A and B are shown apart, each in its own frame.
Chain A
Amino acid sequence: MAATTHTISLFVENTPGVLVRIAGLFVRRGFNIESIAAGPTEHPEFTRITIVVRLESKPVEQVLKQVQKLLPVLSARELQAQDRVDRELMLVRAHLPPGGIDEAHSVVRRYNARILDISNASFLVEATATPEELDTLVALLNTFGIQEMCRTGRVSLERRPQANA
């Protein structure tokens, strides 16, 4: 069976160490985490965690069932591509292209990104888009030369509320 990637949304208690428990479970069961993003929700006692997991041979149901055994995890669901919206935020500092800041601006405008800082040799870009669109922007900025970057990892939300959320 070929490796598959799945987006899992977890709704968990906002208590110390929850992320450690979840990450530890994934590591020891061999569920490879490609990205993990956690943040507060509409309920202050609860956190939502979006995990993109890469599975070699196990079905994603096994991941969901194992993670639901953890006490602080209230729900775990796979979000199917057609049911969800994905976004990711990225900050990149790249070398100025040959055309200088004007060329940088025009590139950035095409991706709906913003320039946050400029120096005489580099510029700092902020972009929010789907992970795939960010991948394309990264490839382009790579042609200028990337000094440093960081990405948050995917966050996802379902378009419609589920029956048993």
Chain B
Amino acid sequence: MPTETLTGAAALVRCLELEGVEFVFGHPGGATLPIYDALYHSKKLHHVLVRHEQAGAHMAEGYARATGKVGVCMATSGPGATNLVTGIADAYMDSTPMVAITGNVAQAMIGTDAFQEADIVSITMPITKHNWLVTDAKELPRIMKEAFHLARSGRPGPVLVDIPKDVQNTLIDFQYPKEVSGTRYRALPKPTSKQFQDAASLMRSASRPVLYLGGGIHSAGAYDEVLDLVETTGAPVVTTVHGKGALPESHRQSLAMFGMHGAKFANYTVQNSDLLVAVGARFDDRVTGRLADFAPNAKIVHLDIDPAEISKNVAANVSIIGDVKETVPELVTAYKRAVEKYGKTDLSAWWKQVDNWREMFPLRYRQEGDKILPQYVVDLLHKKTKGEAIVATGVGEHQMFAAQYYRTSKPRQFITSGGLGTMGFCLPAAIGAQFGKPDALVIGIDGDGSFQMTLQDLATASKAKLPIKIFIVNNLYLGMVRQWQELFFEERYSQVLLGDCPDFVKLAEAYGCLGLRAQTPEELPGIIDRALAHKDGPVIVDVRVKEDECCYPIVRPGGALDDMLGGE
């Protein structure tokens, strides 16, 4: 391919085009003027002008989680860059592929406390897979190639490329590398057949096995492979909040989510297992409870692409490092061979126990009286969307209710901030998801506290006429904190009352969106219908719910996974 002479800024735009980037969620500034000038002429890139860079980063996340592609966000130097930090940290914790691009002051000014200067490379070192300060414009194409490769390969995650203004203005002979080179991008050693045999042997002989599915299955796109594993072994299946949809939750073997707010029967099943097969999950503290007491009699088989997660929190008896899309089928093959040779352990007694727990401790709520219950909102939304919507959430009680009651069945449906738990995630993530999946029904289940953290980007959704429907589960409180204060701080409600402000309907209308309000259980179905039918742009629904409803069950803080409050 013949080279062309381009400025660094134009080269950046060309790199994004060549990487197949559809959307850049960004906000311009002084240090990115050359880039935005180059963007002006791009026909292939669609730049979405955000109202706050944090929202831009969450949009990139929502896009990435809904489509599986790399999300791209852009900010100027200084405060623009630092406004990205929360979103980058969020992507880091949830292994979301993201390329964040920031402008910086000219290199001669770096280190002089220049106007809008921030050392964003140092600031984001702990929260990126890697980051770069581009000091030589000739290096930019190679760096962008590496950035995208790193974001999407192995365990996905965010990267950041910081481009000083003088580099943006420097002319280079542009040529985009065909592949990343160098010893650093080395492939992982392949697992041995013995590891598969050892795992298969444990699985075959276990009498109380459990499959524990996490977000890595979405990253790998290993849905068919996991379904095969589930049905071949016949074991009960639990998932993390990110693992939702890795197996359809309607599957008869699915116990859905376990962990701090998982169903009681799911937690009992895990705690009483004699073998846990973890696939694309990392034994996070939200699912393990007190580590010393986690699944005390279970051997652990751990399949993951990140070697550092093996035995980080929980020691694995057998570990298989690799892309689960490849390792799961090989495990199934080894398992079938083991069963053929030695027979399969009968799981009917185990299932009898599990089904017994399922019957005794279902997730339930009783919608009666004149206050809407948050569980009812989610349940009704699930019915009215046939469980097929893409659901983005904020963080808090509403998020846990959404995870409990919006049972998903398709890949990449449930888009939530799990590891970092970022309030304000819902609206921008829904926006990003809708851009990525323009024909999909995208709804948000948000909290009144969470919604206010990023609401300025209602403007972005409104201008683009995105038909997203955000349901604010409005209890006038910071619900999850309030719950902890009720349960563990003797009802000392310190700084959790948000109150009846703002008027979300008027706010929606101020942003050119449809605003609706539901205050009684009787009017809720009709309001939801109206919201779902609205196609001309965003809908914000202020759903007034019972103020003091707590999310049960809840694992006692510092407690073992089977030490739960509520859930009877």
Contact = CB atoms under 8 A, between A and B. Distances in A.
Contact of A61 (B126, B129, B311): B311
Nearest to A72: B184
24 contacts: A13-B184, A17-B121, A20-B125, A21-B125, A24-B125, A24-B126, A28-B126, A59-B311, A61-B311, A62-B308, A62-B311, A62-B312, A65-B307, A65-B308, A65-B310, A68-B308, A69-B129, A69-B308, A71-B130, A71-B150, A71-B184, A72-B184, A74-B183, A74-B184
A42 to B, nearest CB: 15
**Nearest 6 pairs between A and B by C-beta?**
A65-B308, A71-B130, A66-B308, A65-B307, A71-B184, A24-B125
Interface residues of B, number: 15
A133 B342 CA distance: 60
Contacts of A62: 308, 311-312
Interface in B307-333: 307-308, 310-312
Contacts of B348: none
Contacts of A59: 311
B122 interface: yes
B129 A71 contact: yes
Contacts of B183: 74
A62 B306 CA distance: 12
A91 B310 CA distance: 43
A66 B129 CA distance: 11
A61 B312 CA distance: 9
Which interface residue of B121, B311, B312 has the most chain A CB atoms within 10 A?
Answer: B312
Interface of A: 13, 17, 20-21, 24-25, 28, 59, 61-62, 65-66, 68-72, 74
Interface in B119-157: 121-122, 125-126, 129-130, 150
Given A71-B184, A72-B184, A20 B311 contact: no
Nearest to B126: A28
A17 B308 CA distance: 23
B442 to A, nearest CB: 33
A126 B170 CA distance: 50
Secondary structure type dominating chain A contacts: helix
B308 to A, nearest CB: 4
Contacts of B306: 69
Given A28-B126, A61-B311, A69-B306, 16 more contacts: A17-B121, A20-B122, A20-B125, A24-B125, A62-B308, A62-B312, A65-B307, A65-B308, A66-B308, A68-B308, A69-B129, A69-B308, A71-B129, A71-B130, A71-B150, A71-B184
A28 to B, nearest CB: 6
A80 B276 CA distance: 34
A31 to B, nearest CB: 13
B541 to A, nearest CB: 41
A59 B314 CA distance: 12
A114 to B, nearest CB: 39
Nearest to A28: B126
Interface string B483-523: 00000000000000000000000000000000000000000
Interface in B272-328: 306-308, 310-312
A21 B130 CA distance: 9
A163 to B, nearest CB: 13
B105 to A, nearest CB: 17
A25 B129 CA distance: 12
Contacts of B122: 20
Contacts of B125: 20-21, 24
Nearest to B185: A71
Interface string B28-67: 0000000000000000000000000000000000000000
Nearest to A164: B189
Contacts of B130: 70-71
B210 to A, nearest CB: 25
B285 to A, nearest CB: 15
Which interface residue of B125, B307, B308, B311 has the most chain A CB atoms within 10 A?
Answer: B308
Which interface residue of B130, B150, B306 has the most chain A CB atoms within 10 A?
Answer: B130
A109 B256 CA distance: 73
A59 B307 CA distance: 14
A68 B189 CA distance: 13
B230 to A, nearest CB: 29
Nearest to A13: B184
B443 to A, nearest CB: 36
Nearest to B182: A13
Contacts of B150: 71
A15 to B, nearest CB: 10
A152 to B, nearest CB: 25
A65 B312 CA distance: 10
A68 B183 CA distance: 13
Contacts of B184: 13, 71-72, 74
A69 B309 CA distance: 11
B333 to A, nearest CB: 28
B159 to A, nearest CB: 9
A21 B127 CA distance: 11
Nearest to B306: A69
